[in-house]
Structure 1
Amino acid sequence: METLLRPLAVAGGALVATLALGWVVDRALRRVDARHPETPLWHLLRRCRIPFQVLLCALLLLGAFPAARVGHGHRDGIERALAVVLVASLTWLAVRVATAISESGFTRYASVSHDPARVRRVRTQVTLIQRVVFVVVAVVAAAVALMQFPAMRTAGTSVLASAGVIAAVAGIAAQSVLGNLFAGLQIAFGDMVRLGDTVVVEGQWGTIEEITLTYLVIRTWDERRVTMPVSYFTSRPFEDWTRGGAQLTGVVLFHLDHATPVEEMRSELHRVLKENATWDGRGWSLAVTDTTPTTIEVRALATAKDSGDVWTLRCTIREVMLDWLRREHPYALPRINTAPAPGHHPLDDTPTRHTRHDGCASRHDGGPRHDGVRDHDGVRDHAGGDRGPHDGEVRGPSHPRPAPSR
């Protein structure tokens, strides 16, 4: 009975001590956080409570393990399990503390910086550095945990002996993965793209939402997510609309008639821009940039502070100016002329053919008659006349004619 109660008492005591000490530390961090609301460090450190308690419990169990007097058949297995838990909890706590410190430092930097582009660059670098550190710490922790088992120690020794061959094979097999990894580091420290940048890639317009060591996530204007490898941005050209400043110039093209009053259109455009809040006032223009035999091309330019405003401004210019042209100058809108030339009648050149049948003139080709009435197979004319009682005679609805004598 003692062999069962003693281990339970040791485990229960370690658990109670862990919960009590964790509660005390959490209360202390909460008070410090209330006294210093200007920094998020203490609030972020409170997220380390669970890994701290797991680490503390593992330490207490390892320290009190001899007092439990566990049998020799289970002692080695329990010690190795506690050692693995200790390594895992220590790694977890180190990652949480590093995240809290880096996030606190970035928040303080972002609050005092007045350059959004520099803030995005620092955000990108901090994120990628965190990911690199996490990967390295996880690999080291996994190696330390596996080395607690004798079989893994033997395997590790053999792996180290053939490290050169394994490295060569792994390098060939993981060439694309390693290429993306180094491309991610190049993006982080080369400041090629940053979180929040507005880019155009493969015809997709969107914002950089996430950057990892191997891929980027672009959020498009219609809330889709496009995932692309980071090596794409180091090997192919792309458009970055926010690098060096977010200001943009919007272009609106109109195809209008040659009679368009360009000067009045220019004045109307200026009035529209002055009443629009998305125009930043840096510049505008309206000019005829091209001409064709039927239309002219009028280009309107206007500036805005970012890509979102320039899109809205372009749509507003297009809608308001077309409505103004439709109301004030409808002749300026492009037309397709379908009327015949003056003095020319389309029926003048239509060939006609007349034949005689039983002594009366009739039409066999559906063409126009001399009296302006068209027959269709001798049944009914266009005015609703019916076939007469004599030899294909056609009678109109208002001017009947007698049948010719035989």
Structure 2
Amino acid sequence: MSVQSPADWPVLAISVAGSLLLVELLRRVLSRIGRKWALARHLVERCTWAAFAVAFVVAFNLAFGPGLLGQAPAERSTASTVELVLGVLTIGAVTWLLIQATYALTDVVLDRLVLIEGEHNRRARRIMTQIALVRRVAAAVVIVVAVGAMLFSFPGVRALGAGLLASAGIAGAVVGIAAQPTIGNVLAGLQLAFSDALRLDDVVVVEDEWGRIEELTLTFVVLRLWDERRLVLPVSYFTQTPFENWTRHGSRVLAVVFLRVDWSVPVRELREALYDYLRRNPLWDQTDWTLQVTDVLPNGLVELRALMSAADSPSAWDLKCDVREFLVEYVRVNHPESLPRFRVETPESRAAAAREAPRP
């Protein structure tokens, strides 16, 4: 359709209004279907405004003709400029819609992966990380291509194309040197995603800070610490610096509690009491546990180590605190003579010990 006279403005308005009304009708249908169909729900959430933008610019572009503003040379020149701007806006709107639709499609997969628990959770988190990074890369590529198409819509840019290509080697070298850290971060992000070294929701220890991977992009990683702070690090940090990953092959963790007590502590009785307590504690995964005398310290105390397993690191931390509290309370109430005591030998005590020693 091509409008060729100023009298056809109502046709242009009707075309634009009709396209917007059609998108709104489609949105309402998908919203109703989205109660049972996840893809429809995500399309509505992601693509509504992008679809309105595409409908507006496409309808305006199709209905706008060179004679709509008038037949005078100046008016036709203005109409040509408007057509050029409409073409650029059309490319931008279609690109926006394409990216949002891609995100909506991948959101359906991510929603299903989030629900996976147990032994398959590790593989699900790896796929989630890879999807999140790949769609960011795809969006960046689409945007670059769209910007290139917008630029080549201008005749002046097309005329300069040959000269730009001739100097592309030098410009590429300069840009490559200037953007080396950024490019390194992007490559590091892809390496982390596809080497399975780091995944979303992994439990890691970085810079002596314990936390979970909350966000993993092509340039930075956001670590949510145990006290709700956020530690933001470049992706290249994780490829150049050692870090602890507590959920690399599974989420199960061993919790350790140390107790320093007097030599008079009844270890066997304490071991039985600990086992009875663990069986009643829901944080213990019913797998591993032990209580051992691991050392005799130079200050005269005995070191006991209680070890027990938990399903994940938060449970292990809570279980460790519970066990420590139980052991302290048990020793204090039932065996106060086993509380830590530091012995000091004086000349008087040495003489008293010598008098009390049996004579041969």
| TM above 0.5 | yes
Deviations 1:106-140 (A, max 9, x none): 33455578611111011101100110011011111
Kindly name which structure, 1 or 2, has the bigger radius of gyration based on alpha carbons.
1
Given that residues 10 and 61 in structure 1 are in contact (C-alpha distance below 8 angstroms), is that contact kept between their aligned partners in structure 2? Answer: no
Q: Name the residue aligned to 1:42.
A: 40
Name the SS for the 1:308 alignment partner: helix
Normalized against structure 2, the TM-score is what?
0.88
Aligned to 1:210: 215
CA-to-aligned-CA distance 1:267-295 (integer Å, 9 cap, x gap)? 22112212211111101111111113411
Match of 1:327 in 2: 333
Note the 1:3-402 alignment, pairs <5 A: 6=7, 8-34=9-35, 37=36, 39-47=37-45, 48-66=47-65, 68-70=68-70, 71-108=75-112, 115-293=120-298, 294-337=300-343, 341-342=348-349
More helix by share: 2
Q: Relative to structure 1, is the Cα distance of residues 183 and 343 closer, same or farther in structure 2, using a 3 angstrom cutoff?
A: closer
Native 8 Å contact 1:6 1:69 kept in 2: no
C-alpha distance in structure 2 between counterparts of 1:214 and 1:23, whole Å: 37
**Mean CA deviation greater in 88-97 or 144-153:** 144-153
Spell out, residue by residue over 1:230-281, the C-alpha distance to the aligned partner (whole angstroms, 9 max, x if none). 1121222211111211111111111111222111211221122122111111
Contact 2:50 2:93 survives alignment (8 Å): yes
Letter in 1 for 2:260: H
Distance 1:7 1:155, change over 3 A: farther
Deviations 1:23-51 (A, max 9, x none): 222233234334xx1x4101112232322
Aligned residues: 340
Check conservation: 1:295, 1:334, Cα contact below 8 A. yes
Distance in 2 separating the partners of 1:343 and 1:127: 73
**Contact residue 5 and residue 69 of structure 2 kept, 8 A:** no
Aligned partners of 1:332 and 1:155: how far apart in 2?
Answer: 88
In the alignment, structure 1 segments of 5+ residues that lack a partner are: 346-406
Change (3 A) 1:111 1:326: closer
Cα distance change, pair 109–205 in 1 and its aligned pair in 2 (3 A): closer
8 A Cα contact 2:54 2:94, kept in partner: yes
Give the deviation of 1:315 after TM superposition.
0.6
Classify the secondary structure of the residue corresponding to 1:280.
strand
Which deviates the most, 22-31 or 221-230? 22-31
Does the 8 Å CA contact 1:205/1:221 hold for their aligned counterparts? yes
Moved more, 306-315 or 3-12: 3-12
Q: CA deviation at 1:149?
A: 2.1
- Identity among equivalent positions (%) equals 38
- Residues 81-127 of structure 1, C-alpha deviation per residue, up to 9 Å, x if partnerless? 11111011000110111111111233345557861111101110110
Higher-RCO chain (CA-CA 8 Å, sequence separation at least 6): 2
Alpha-carbon displacement from aligned partner over 1:151-180 (angstroms, at most 9, x marks no partner):
333444422211111111111111111111
Q: 198-207 or 266-275: which moved more?
A: 266-275
Root-mean-square deviation (Å): 2.3
Question: Where in structure 2 are there 5+ consecutive unaligned residues?
Answer: 353-360
SS of the residue aligned with 1:28? helix
TM-score, normalising length from structure 1? Answer: 0.78
